[in-house]
Amino acid sequence: MSNSLIAMEPKRFDAYEQAVRDSGGQLSALSPEVEALIWTDYSRPDLLRETLDGNPQLRWVQLPFAGVDAFVEVLDRDLVFTCAKASFSQPVAEHALALTLALSRKIPTRVRANAWGEKFAFSLFDSNVLIVGGGGIAQQLIDLLTPFGAHITVVRKHPTTMPGVERVVGMEQLDEALPTADVVILACSLTPETDRLFDRQRITRMKPSAYLVNIARGRHVVLPDLLKALDDGIIAGAALDVTEPEPLPEGHPAFGREDLIITPHTADTKAQVIELFSQRLRENVAAYLSGEPLVGTVSRELGY
């Protein structure tokens, strides 16, 4: 495949182009001779569909982010799709830990305080942490939590042993695992099974002292249900890096609460994404040209 041509559509970044060249790839405008496509715009699944319709010669498509929920309608085609799963795990896991620590020490309350106030702290040491999702972000987060001696349970679609985890269970056991968790962290892909996963009914299964952290997809959490649960004292607090809708409109009732931290989808920044996705391109372009297995292959059956 040494003479394979690779197109990059629709946004071009110098770092991505350099990554392709560093790996021996030849960049080209999209044409009937091009067999590999690097797709860089998550917001245009319609344009990707049109592009694939007009280019049946394509054999491999690299998608830009870990989640592929926007591209579900094109994944049934007879070609290989790869995504960026596990590429951005480190900064996203770091953000999840930061949000958890901020909640556990009531940082939103303290940064607003103009008086000494009451003492409060929840410690991650020896706590019960439930992670929903078993991919790269979850594994990075498990590594970060190891020094705290936390008791970690992972809920995932296909339960398999994971390093540093006391228990791995299937999605059907989520409700059973929730009542003992001190912190619940969502790090799963968005699929029909996880869409609106945490509505009021499921949040109510958490204990009143527990915290919910979402660094995955906004549609995992029904935001009005979460706000009502916080109002009613169902759980102690929450932190969201992603929301539905996104961005939240100015003046939304989710803003300004001491029991809810919202960050504007900044678990990974543009600079981080460019650097880490460039590395994924180097890996996959080199693998494609040499006929080796690609990294981050998307499963049509699983949807991620």
How far is residue 186's CA from residue 211's CA, in Å, rounded to a whole number?
11
129 and 104 in contact (C-beta within 8 Å)?
no
Active site annotation includes 217: yes
CA dihedral of 283, 292, 79, 30, whole degrees rounded to 10: 50
154 and 141 in contact (C-beta within 8 Å)?
no
Query: Residues 44, 94, 265, 275: which is the catalytic one?
Result: 265
Cα distance between the two ends of the chain: 27
- Tokens, residue 49: 């569909």
DSSP single-letter state for residue 115: S
- Region at 233 (left for phi over 0; alpha for psi -120 to 50; beta for the rest): left
Active site annotation includes 265: yes
Query: Residues 217, 219, 220, 280: which is the catalytic one?
Result: 217
Active site annotation includes 246: yes
Secondary structure (3-state) at 52: helix
Query: Residues 33, 172, 246, 292: which is the catalytic one?
Result: 246
How far is residue 283's CA from residue 271's CA, in Å, rounded to a whole number?
19
Query: Which positions are annotated as active-site residues?
Result: 217, 246, 265
